[in-house]
A and B are shown apart, each in its own frame.
Chain A
């Protein structure tokens, strides 16, 4: 195993009866990064993650995590990884501190429980029953439990699903904190915004296969290089002048509002120069950049939200 690699997945496949959940998936995760498996529900993200965690055995292919085989060396691996599972619960009436103390008792050299609760903003909820916690607090407790053994890699499955935007942002900060402490994070999400803001690199999964892997910016650059600049101006010659720019590919205009499409960042500069050179009076100026959702649409022909 390459020394910089924390996870190596090579050609794994997993089927449930006739349904192929994962078909020929290959990727590596590097030490210290936040790696995202992204794609719509049912793409195979969770099955892939659970194979890596050693909770499921793949039908074919090879997986190595920290140099260990997740199935054969499951016990040894469990001590070195942290896991948060999709839609898991705890006993309704377990107290927050009791859950942390029990999890601590399961590992030989656990992290400081009170310290974890403080970092995750749960110290005031120490004595609260699990059932009384909000969705965000429950997820923070699950993060605490995933960190209780001071793991080298943390796996987070659909961490922010069902949370409101504010709680979601708070969780993102916590995940970045995990990386700052030198740990590697592997997460799944169907939220492209989450992947874009949080992940250093992402693998896009669709229908049980990986479509492409790279940094979010590189994926956008590679698959969706087009930019659109929207300008509203009363200048009569505007449409003609924008059309004449070398970086422009098309202009849609209603005589007042112009949507200028082109390739690369140079388009934006060119449009600004033109406006300035001709002293056009501008009432609206906006650039539209493609994002991972557009990348997914381009790669699969379908919207990720569909």
Chain B
């Protein structure tokens, strides 16, 4: 195995163990989204009444929300919490001089960042899997969702959003600012992403803004894949997410501060 891959494997495993030891790490990034999903799902299911939920799924608005939008909404929340968590970790590592110490070793800088990204992606995939299991167990909406494709789409979207996290992590001075600043940048993207209202119903200025935000493409891709559309129909979304990744990574590598 090439040296840097060996370093990456070792560091990824190490950071996974360390993350699991965080008192709120696994609870915050796995348990909370899963619980939230179950609770919101039950409330939504209760409000339409059981027959409709278990039945054909022909009901109005709410079942459509259950069938397509709730899973996408949950997936977006998982992705955003992964990004926030990455931003905070990088800021903490910088503030504590951990990055500085690692930089004085033969480990290459991208290896450190990539290890964290891999940890986040692993937990993102795990959270999604648990959510699907919990969803099946607690409220049997009949979904024939392409789960493998959906997981892939979520990993791709998370990867792209993580690169925005790099840019935020590159400029925040301390970990105390990282979390609120990240939330301030990321969460306003949700209402503009087309998740709750189609973006062509937005005022023109906001619609333009929405088309510039990466989350819009993430939502479009996730929703499309969830409802069984082919990847080819969403090549534009994939390209947009790839472009965001390329641009954000380029910016981050220019402005990234190690201390």
Residues in A lying within 8 Å of B, measured CB to CB: 53, 55, 75, 78-79, 83, 85, 87-91, 93-94, 98, 102-103, 105-107, 129
Nearest-neighbour CB distance to chain B for A261, whole angstroms, equals 47
Contacts of A85 in B (CB 8 A): 97, 100-101, 104
Contacts of B15 in A (CB 8 A): 91
A105 and B10 in contact (CB under 8 A), knowing A78-B106, A93-B21, A93-B22?
yes
Contacts of A88 in B (CB 8 A): 96-98, 100-101
- Give Cα A53 to B11, complex, Å: 24
Contacts of B56 in A (CB 8 A): none
Do the beta carbons of B106 and A79 come within 8 Å of each other? yes
Q: Tell me which of B7, B10, B21, B98 contacts A90 (CB under 8 A).
A: B98
A53 and B105 in contact (CB under 8 A), knowing A85-B97, A93-B18?
no
Nearest-neighbour CB distance to chain A for B22, whole angstroms, equals 7
- Give Cα A268 to B7, complex, Å: 63
B26 at the interface (CB under 8 A from A): no
**A-B CB contacts (within 8 Å), total count:** 49
Do the beta carbons of B104 and A91 come within 8 Å of each other? no
A90 and B101 in contact (CB under 8 A), knowing A102-B10, A102-B11, A129-B21?
yes
Do the beta carbons of A91 and B98 come within 8 Å of each other? yes
Nearest-neighbour CB distance to chain A for B119, whole angstroms, equals 12
Do the beta carbons of B106 and A83 come within 8 Å of each other? no
A106 and B14 in contact (CB under 8 A), knowing A53-B104, A88-B101?
no
Q: Tell me which of B98, B104, B106, B107 contacts A89 (CB under 8 A).
A: B98
Report B104-138 CB contacts with A as 1/0, cut-off 8 Å: 11110000000000000000000000000000000
- Give Cα A87 to B259, complex, Å: 11
User: Main SS of the interface on chain B?
Assistant: helix
Q: Tell me which of B98, B100, B107 contacts A106 (CB under 8 A).
A: B107
Nearest-neighbour CB distance to chain B for A120, whole angstroms, equals 17
9 pairs of A and B residues whose beta carbons are closest in the complex: A89-B96, A88-B101, A88-B97, A93-B21, A83-B104, A105-B10, A93-B18, A106-B106, A89-B97
B17 at the interface (CB under 8 A from A): yes
Residues in B lying within 8 Å of A, measured CB to CB: 6-7, 10-11, 14-15, 17-18, 21-22, 93, 96-98, 100-101, 103-107
- Give Cα A164 to B103, complex, Å: 29
Do the beta carbons of B7 and A87 come within 8 Å of each other? no
Contacts of A78 in B (CB 8 A): 104-106
- Give Cα A12 to B67, complex, Å: 67
Contacts of B100 in A (CB 8 A): 85, 88
Q: Tell me which of A75, A93, A94 contacts B106 (CB under 8 A).
A: A75
Name 19 interchain pairs, CB-CB below 8 A, sorted by A.
A53-B104, A55-B103, A75-B106, A79-B106, A83-B104, A85-B97, A85-B100, A88-B96, A89-B98, A89-B101, A91-B18, A93-B18, A98-B14, A98-B17, A102-B11, A105-B7, A106-B105, A106-B107, A107-B106
Nearest-neighbour CB distance to chain A for B114, whole angstroms, equals 15
Nearest-neighbour CB distance to chain B for A51, whole angstroms, equals 13
A94 and B104 in contact (CB under 8 A), knowing A85-B97, A89-B96, A89-B98?
no
Closest chain B residue to A99, Cβ basis: B14
Closest chain A residue to B89, Cβ basis: A91
Nearest-neighbour CB distance to chain B for A184, whole angstroms, equals 17
Nearest-neighbour CB distance to chain B for A90, whole angstroms, equals 6
Do the beta carbons of B98 and A102 come within 8 Å of each other? no
Other than A78-B104, A88-B98, A106-B107, give 19 A-B pairs with Cβ distance below 8 A.
Answer: A55-B103, A55-B104, A78-B105, A85-B97, A85-B104, A87-B97, A88-B96, A88-B97, A88-B101, A89-B97, A89-B101, A91-B18, A91-B98, A93-B21, A102-B10, A102-B14, A106-B105, A107-B106, A129-B21
Closest chain A residue to B23, Cβ basis: A93
Contacts of B105 in A (CB 8 A): 78, 103, 106
Nearest-neighbour CB distance to chain A for B174, whole angstroms, equals 14
Contacts of B98 in A (CB 8 A): 88-91
Closest chain B residue to A98, Cβ basis: B14
- Give Cα A105 to B101, complex, Å: 15
Of B17, B98, B105, the most chain A CB neighbours within 10 A belong to: B105
Contacts of B107 in A (CB 8 A): 106
Contacts of A98 in B (CB 8 A): 14, 17
Contacts of A89 in B (CB 8 A): 96-98, 101
Do the beta carbons of B97 and A106 come within 8 Å of each other? no
Contacts of A94 in B (CB 8 A): 14, 18
Nearest-neighbour CB distance to chain B for A219, whole angstroms, equals 31
Do the beta carbons of A105 and B103 come within 8 Å of each other? no
Nearest-neighbour CB distance to chain A for B49, whole angstroms, equals 47
Contacts of B22 in A (CB 8 A): 93
Closest chain B residue to A103, Cβ basis: B105
Contacts of B6 in A (CB 8 A): 105
Contacts of B103 in A (CB 8 A): 55
- Give Cα A106 to B21, complex, Å: 24
